[in-house]
């Protein structure tokens, strides 16, 4: 029997999660069963249960993946010296693109709603957010002194990545809600508004 590689396992897991996303966007969490996910994935139930023991595990995995991707985009923008507003704009543009591909915004809204009645999911999200904030604040490239952000005190530089993440966690839900309900057209002007409204006095953009 050929050895199953880690790449194969990752691809199979991603395939199952993509099928689950389609089911959840189309029918919602509660109307979608594990058998629905199996049928959508087009593989055996045994193969699905090898990766996920329950529908809740699939939901938690999707929620974690969404947050991880958002944090990765923000961290990359910060690490490359983007201004705070440009970093936030990069995240908004990323989630808009992802929503076109797989209903990212709709899944996010469903996850938040589910977390209100599912304490383990709520706990999982809180832990993931705490971990994300710690990752950002601990990034040695997050806020370089004297870089494109302009002159800042060491204390400001240290806390800026976490502050941006906190602002993002407040801005992003409203953005995703409008995106989920109205599509890309409904939020087309928001990234530009973020650039203007969140401009910080005494800083300069990373690009001319």
Task: Give tens-digit pLDDT for 150-195.
Answer: 334 444 444 566 777 777 778 889 999 999 999 999 999 988 887 7
- pLDDT reported for residue 208: 44
Residue 184 per-residue DSSP state: G
Task: Give tens-digit pLDDT for 3-24.
Answer: 679 999 999 999 999 999 999 9
CB-based burial, 19-58: b 16+ in 10 Å, e otherwise: bbbbbbbeeebeebebebbbebbebeeeebeebbeebeeb
Q: State the chain's mean pLDDT as an integer.
A: 82
Task: Give tens-digit pLDDT for 50-61.
Answer: 999 999 999 999
- pTM confidence score: 0.77
Q: Where are the domains of the chain?
A: 1-53, 59-141+158-200
Q: Are 203 and 150 in contact (CB under 8 A)?
A: yes
Helices (H), the chain: 6-27, 34-41, 45-51, 55-79, 84-102, 104-115, 119-137, 154-182, 190-197
- pLDDT reported for residue 78: 81
Identify the CATH assignment for 1-53 out of 3.40.50.720, 1.10.3720.10, 1.10.10.60, 1.10.645.10: 1.10.10.60
**pLDDT for residue 149 is more than 50:** no
Task: Give tens-digit pLDDT for 119-139.
Answer: 988 988 888 788 777 766 654
């Amino acid at each position: 029997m050929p050895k199953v590689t880690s790449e194969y396992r990752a691809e199979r897991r991603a395939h199952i999660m993509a099928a689950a996303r389609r089911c959840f966007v189309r029918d919602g969490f509660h109307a979608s069963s594990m058998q629905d996910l199996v049928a959508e994935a087009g593989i055996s139930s045994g193969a699905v249960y090898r990766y996920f023991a329950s529908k809740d595990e699939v939901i938690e995995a999707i929620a974690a993946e969404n947050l991880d991707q958002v944090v990765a985009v923000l961290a990359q923008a910060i690490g490359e010296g983007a201004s705070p507003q440009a970093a936030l704009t990069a995240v908004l543009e990323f989630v808009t693109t992802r929503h076109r591909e797989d209903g990212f915004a709709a899944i996010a809204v469903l996850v938040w709603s589910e977390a209100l009645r599912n304490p383990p999911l709520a706990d999982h999200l809180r832990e993931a957010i705490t971990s994300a904030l710690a990752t950002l604040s601990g990034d040695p490239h997050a806020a370089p002194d004297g870089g494109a952000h302009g002159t800042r005190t060491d204390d400001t530089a240290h806390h800026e990545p976490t502050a941006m993440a906190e602002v993002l966690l407040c801005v992003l839900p409203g953005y995703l809600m409008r995106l989920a309900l109205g599509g890309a057209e409904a939020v087309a002007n928001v990234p530009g508004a973020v650039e203007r409204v969140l401009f910080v006095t005494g800083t300069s953009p990373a690009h001319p």
